[in-house]
Amino acid sequence: MEILTILKYICAISAAGLIVTTVLQNRSGGLGAVFGGSGGEAYRSKRGLEAFLYNMTIVLGIVLTISAILIAIVSI
């Protein structure tokens, strides 16, 4: 298999995984939290599955970015 084909598969899989992990994350804040209003809710740390999804989202975003850059470089 060619390296460009492998990079395309990695890019597609990481993009799909990024979509899934983003959708599965908890939306407790709402629009008010975006502008600084937390609604009286105290800070709480991420635990268990919530922490895993958060970290996996970051990892998949990095993998997607790197694979997209490598596809651009290899296809020149």
Average pLDDT over residues 35-39: 59
Cα radius of gyration rounded to whole Å, the chain: 17
Looking at per-residue pLDDT, the higher value among 36 and 10 belongs to 10
* Residue 30, φ and ψ in degrees, nearest 5: 80, -170
Task: Indicate the number of domains in the chain.
Answer: 1
Asked whether residue 44 carries a pLDDT value surpassing 60, the answer given is yes
Q: Does any domain span residue 30?
A: no
The C-alpha atoms of residue 36 and residue 58 are separated, in whole angstroms, by 23
Whole-structure pTM value:
0.77
Average pLDDT over residues 40-47: 68
The burial of 54, by beta-carbon neighbours within 10 Å (0-12 exposed, 13-18 middle, 19 or more buried), is given as middle
Beta carbons within 10 angstroms of residue 60's beta carbon: 20
3-state SS of 37-48?
A: CCCCCCCCCCCC
Q: Does any domain span residue 17?
A: yes
Q: Does any domain span residue 29?
A: no
Residue span of the structural domain in which 7 resides: 1-24+45-76
